[in-house]
Structure 1
Amino acid sequence: MDIPTFLRDNNLLSPLFFLSTTIFILFLVKRTKILVFKSIENLPPGPPQFPLIGNLLQVGDKPHVSMANFAKKYGPLISLRLGKQLVVVASSLEAAMGILKTQDRFLSSRSIPAAFQQKPLLPHSLIWSDCNQTWKNLRTLCRTELFSAKSLESQSILREEKVRQLLDFLYRNQGQVIDIEDVVFTTLLNTLSCIIFGKDMAQFADHGCGSTRDGLKESLHQVIEYGGRVKDVGSFYPMLERFDLHGLTRATKKVFDKVFACWEVVIEERRVVVGSTTWSSDHQALTFLDRMLENGFSNEQIYQLVMELFVAGTNTTTSTIIWVMTELIRHKEVMSKIEQEIQKHIISDQIPISQLSQLTYLQACIKETFRLHPPVPLLLPHLAVETCNVMNYTIPKNTKIFVNVWAMGRDPTLWDDPCRYNPERFTDLKLDYKGQDFELLPFGSGRRMCPGLPSGIKSVEYILASLIHEFDWGVPNGDDPSKLDVNEKFGIAMKRENPLKLIFKQKCYKDC
């Protein structure tokens, strides 16, 4: 029998894995005298399990697809055993509401991937910490200073400047084949770094230039890659977690330390300024770093929060833009409608952010892309803090919980012709992605809903509108654009399996 891809890719069949498994088995024999899982009454149904490994071999390297297939056979709420870890997966509107709304209070903790288990930093985490007062304070600070309507308005000039730099780079490279993901990622990273630190931290250039700024971009890519490796022995057998058998925690810490060393210089420079006698309480903070320093943040608190803002603010937003571009390249008639909409409403050379609200068909395309290609197909994992009931099934304490929004986006009971890319379904259907309409939950819902939604959507709309307004896009080598692949790569965000390489030329509206 072939070895599943995720086992090969993550070295689960290495001698170290077999050694750790042997230790684990002996430990079970000594402590419990049994080698089977203790049954729990009234769990959600699920596929048959193998001794010790449970359903690990059945999940594969695209768990959102496997779990969607399980749901078709066993129902909208299923249970699995991944090693020793009990997992419950919701794949319907009713099941999602039960987890994210009805029982949100009891199911709102986090199951933390191995890569992000940096013990000294976790108490300062916005994404992974429990719903305690520190977490509430962090969310309030970010909503007020970064994601509020007032903050987004104040960031408009900066966002327009960064997109202008993106367009200037593309003007200089017309006729070349580009990896659109890289230039979008760079734009988002620089937008965030200017908001937080007041300076660019990446550049549009080859990765081989060796500069410090490119080093940050590469480091973030590494963190994202490590965070997406969910098939870790310690995740399945918690008693082995401390040994970090795949080295993910150590590898991520090494990258963190490298990045933090660069940030420390910037932080200390601003700490001196903010702490000086000339800095009064009514002095307007120039950056988000200033605001954190005013609130007495330690370096460790700043490191953790900024790293999470960078990872979340670049990764999923880039992924969404790339998937929209993929579908627009595949569907020329949809691209044409967006172009006509932009020409109708935009008369200036560069699109003002204030006019994005007029581009309703573009917004429909983004919603349709969220439906078919949600950036986090299983959302971030929840953890039950108390035993509770969902759909008359028992969800025991410490159960890991996923909501399969990818499966919900393909549910024929919710959507007509669900596998067809059809933005028109959203021109009449008044559904939104802000957590109230459970048919469409790319950012989740409830107390763990992504607080950066307003900023992320603003970036998606503005970058897409600008790219479409300025350039005609196509695939290299005269290939048929309608045949462009939509193969997925599962990770901390769902990306294309193959990079999106495109050719482009400047549009001619008047004189060229």
Structure 2
Amino acid sequence: MDMITGTFVKADNILFGSLLFVSTISLLLFIISKTKILSSKSIKNLPPGPPRLPIIGNLHQVGDNPIVSTASLARQYGPLISLRLGQKLLVVASSPEAAMGVLKTQDRFLSSRPVPAAFKHPDYAPHALLWAAECNQTWKNLRTLCRAHLFSGKALESQSGLRAEKVSQMVDFLRRKQGQVIDVEDVLFTTLYNTLTSIVFGKDMLQLEDGDGNTRDPQKESVRKIIEYGSRVKDFGVFFPMLDRFDLHGTKKGTLKEYAKLFGPYWDGIIEERRAVVNSSTWSSDQAQCFLDRLLENKFTNYQIYQFVMELFVAGSNTTTSAVVWAMSELLRHNEVKSKLEEELQKEIKLDQINVSQLSELTYLQSCIKETYRLHPSVPLLLPRVANETCEVMNYTIPKNAMVFVNVWAMGRDPKVWHEPLRYMPERFTDSKLDFKGQDFEFIPFGSGRRICAGMPSGIKSVEYLLATLVREFAWTLPNGDDPSKLDLENKMGLAMKRVYPLKLIFKQK
């Protein structure tokens, strides 16, 4: 009987393998018949790059970690390279000179953006900020609205009390959990998410009590699904547009909209309550209580509010969480740096409560943050751009519709730019005037040009406050007495660059 069963299993495997082979060949033939591949040889003076295979081009050479693979190719072929990924021509800049060419010299021709399938729904697209395809007037109006009411100095000052409240809640939680193993990313993400929802909606949305990694919060699970869905590195629909119609990821088009519906029970009541107030005859703009009121003043629909808020929450909380986790990881591995930072905080901060405004004046804290962004930029390839016109960078041609990336991770580890680039050494910034505001192209973790991260001021404030508080208030140890000098710093790609292995620590109040 076993022999008969085994024969059938073997036959099934052979049949499955044959069907898979036939299906693969059929798909390739379909691609060949439908794809109009623009030959690289037909474009004169492209940036150099490795030889390409038929159909897939260099897709096999990029792999799952494109920051590393493109950095390696740049060392071989130069600071501006071109790759063919399916139907798409990809150009990657990996030096300050190449980055300046992309983000400054030719910014007006390279400021469009490829929109992931997850964000292409017509209900959302006109009011996107991060994923706006063009820098049109709608995008400019939304960015101006954000700068005025979310990210300006005045707005940040008005948010300082709220930030202090959320950080205080985090500290109280960690005090209650002393001696227990804590998933640091989960606690930071929840704190930042609640900070943003309080700024936008005027209330917390997630439960910090579930921040030990055993969460059952349905809204938090929805947020994580959206982050996962919207942060894919590999999207075959981008490289082979004719495959957009197929369900290659086991998801359906419009899945983001389906996820957005999950927020209805949490957000719709608040939106409708504030809409009634904003639309009343007695409303005046100085009565605004939260950023939602500003969106409603500008006649945003519920779905358009979903789009903006999801972009803000996913990008803001995700990337900032990543930055703090990487900073803590490096401080754990370099106790002498952590001790020096503790001394500065103890000397300069006299009150029980940290004053957010004074943190920007703490030299060593700022140096630690900059050094973290140099080695571990939150968005290591920045967000992609698309050439809306053919232009030249470093005397090479970038043709219209080419996708363009800037590998800031590679630039931060380039020995031609940095002394001992793989060493975590905050002192390199102590007497340096280098800043991350987009003018020093050897150090642009937030990008540059018209697409520079609009939320940079808010993100930096959060990183400063969270890192200073955690260093000042707690001693950290790894579970099981593990040696922090051997902490694994392997990264994985997504919208934000994260650790492969989550950072789990035991906190003890000082």
| Letter in structure 2 aligned against 1:407 | A
User: Does the 8 A contact of 2:98 with 2:394 survive in 1?
Assistant: yes
| Letter in structure 1 aligned against 2:100 | M
Q: Secondary structure at the match of 1:402?
A: strand
Q: 1:163 aligns with which of 144, 162, 167?
A: 167
Q: Which residue is 1:404 aligned to?
A: 407
Q: 1:153 aligns with which of 157, 162, 168?
A: 157
Report the Cα offset of residue 111 of structure 1: 1.3
| Letter in structure 2 aligned against 1:504 | F
Q: Which residue is 2:373 aligned to?
A: 370
Distance in structure 2 (CA, Å) of the matches to 1:21 and 1:243: 16
Q: 2:314 aligns with which of 305, 311, 314?
A: 311
User: Does the 8 A contact of 1:223 with 1:255 survive in 2?
Assistant: yes
**Are 2:277 and 1:273 equivalent residues in the alignment?**
yes
TM-score (norm 1): 0.92
Q: Secondary structure at the match of 2:126?
A: helix
Report the Cα offset of residue 180 of structure 1: 0.7
1:457-499 deviation line (CA, Å, top 9, x unaligned):
0000001101111101121111111111111011111000000
Q: Which residue is 2:481 aligned to?
A: 478
**Are 2:274 and 1:263 equivalent residues in the alignment?**
no
Q: Secondary structure at the match of 2:263?
A: helix
Q: Which moved more, 1:54-63 or 1:256-265?
A: 256-265
The 1:14/1:195 distance shift into structure 2, 3 A limit, reads farther
Q: 2:224 aligns with which of 221, 225, 235?
A: 221
**Are 2:200 and 1:196 equivalent residues in the alignment?**
yes
Q: Which residue is 1:333 aligned to?
A: 336
Distance in structure 2 (CA, Å) of the matches to 1:451 and 1:88: 24
User: Does the 8 A contact of 1:434 with 1:445 survive in 2?
Assistant: yes
Q: Secondary structure at the match of 2:189?
A: helix
Q: Which moved more, 1:223-232 or 1:384-393?
A: 223-232
Distance in structure 2 (CA, Å) of the matches to 1:150 and 1:21: 60
Q: Which residue is 2:13 aligned to?
A: none
Distance in structure 1 (CA, Å) of the matches to 2:154 and 2:35: 58
Q: Which moved more, 1:38-47 or 1:363-372?
A: 38-47
Matches for 1:53-452 after TM superposition, within 5 Å: 53-129=56-132, 130-206=134-210, 210=216, 214-246=217-249, 247=251, 249-279=253-283, 281-452=284-455
User: Does the 8 A contact of 1:189 with 1:202 survive in 2?
Assistant: yes
User: Does the 8 A contact of 1:114 with 1:248 survive in 2?
Assistant: no
| Letter in structure 1 aligned against 2:205 | M
Give structure 1 stretches of 5+ with no counterpart: 1-12, 508-512
| Letter in structure 1 aligned against 2:261 | D
Q: Secondary structure at the match of 1:505?
A: strand
TM-score (norm 2): 0.92
The 1:248/1:469 distance shift into structure 2, 3 A limit, reads farther
**Are 2:495 and 1:492 equivalent residues in the alignment?**
yes
Distance in structure 1 (CA, Å) of the matches to 2:230 and 2:25: 23
User: Does the 8 A contact of 2:233 with 2:493 survive in 1?
Assistant: no
The 1:369/1:30 distance shift into structure 2, 3 A limit, reads closer
| Letter in structure 1 aligned against 2:208 | F
Distance in structure 1 (CA, Å) of the matches to 2:309 and 2:224: 15
The 1:45/1:268 distance shift into structure 2, 3 A limit, reads same
Distance in structure 2 (CA, Å) of the matches to 1:186 and 1:173: 16
Distance in structure 1 (CA, Å) of the matches to 2:339 and 2:21: 53
RMSD: 2.1
**Are 2:459 and 1:456 equivalent residues in the alignment?**
yes
Distance in structure 2 (CA, Å) of the matches to 1:215 and 1:169: 20
Report the Cα offset of residue 31 of structure 1: 7.4
Q: Secondary structure at the match of 1:286?
A: coil
User: Does the 8 A contact of 1:113 with 1:230 survive in 2?
Assistant: no
Q: Which moved more, 1:481-490 or 1:356-365?
A: 356-365
The 1:433/1:272 distance shift into structure 2, 3 A limit, reads same
The 1:266/1:208 distance shift into structure 2, 3 A limit, reads farther
Distance in structure 1 (CA, Å) of the matches to 2:23 and 2:41: 24
Report the Cα offset of residue 181 of structure 1: 0.6
Q: Secondary structure at the match of 1:110?
A: coil
Distance in structure 2 (CA, Å) of the matches to 1:14 and 1:470: 62
| Letter in structure 1 aligned against 2:209 | A
Distance in structure 1 (CA, Å) of the matches to 2:274 and 2:457: 28
| Letter in structure 2 aligned against 1:112 | V
Q: Which residue is 2:10 aligned to?
A: none
Q: Secondary structure at the match of 2:92?
A: strand
Give the percent of matched residue pairs that are identical in Structure 1 and Structure 2.
66
Q: Which residue is 1:8 aligned to?
A: none
The 1:486/1:17 distance shift into structure 2, 3 A limit, reads farther
Report the Cα offset of residue 148 of structure 1: 0.2
Distance in structure 1 (CA, Å) of the matches to 2:492 and 2:387: 28
| Letter in structure 2 aligned against 1:22 | S
Distance in structure 2 (CA, Å) of the matches to 1:230 and 1:255: 20
Distance in structure 1 (CA, Å) of the matches to 2:491 and 2:195: 27
Distance in structure 2 (CA, Å) of the matches to 1:458 and 1:488: 24
Report the Cα offset of residue 76 of structure 1: 0.3
Q: Secondary structure at the match of 1:57?
A: helix
Q: Which moved more, 1:112-121 or 1:395-404?
A: 112-121
User: Does the 8 A contact of 1:116 with 1:249 survive in 2?
Assistant: no
Distance in structure 2 (CA, Å) of the matches to 1:53 and 1:21: 14
Distance in structure 1 (CA, Å) of the matches to 2:246 and 2:369: 42
Distance in structure 2 (CA, Å) of the matches to 1:328 and 1:301: 40
Q: Which residue is 1:503 aligned to?
A: 506
1:54-113 deviation line (CA, Å, top 9, x unaligned):
111111111000000000000000000111111000000110000000000000000122
Q: Which residue is 1:4 aligned to?
A: none
Aligned pair count reads 490
| Letter in structure 1 aligned against 2:278 | V
Distance in structure 2 (CA, Å) of the matches to 1:205 and 1:145: 30
Distance in structure 2 (CA, Å) of the matches to 1:27 and 1:172: 58
Report the Cα offset of residue 115 of structure 1: 2.6
The 1:209/1:317 distance shift into structure 2, 3 A limit, reads closer
User: Does the 8 A contact of 1:29 with 1:35 survive in 2?
Assistant: no
Q: Which residue is 1:9 aligned to?
A: none
The 1:156/1:14 distance shift into structure 2, 3 A limit, reads farther
The 1:21/1:349 distance shift into structure 2, 3 A limit, reads farther
Q: Which residue is 2:50 aligned to?
A: 47
The 1:283/1:221 distance shift into structure 2, 3 A limit, reads same
Report the Cα offset of residue 249 of structure 1: 3.9
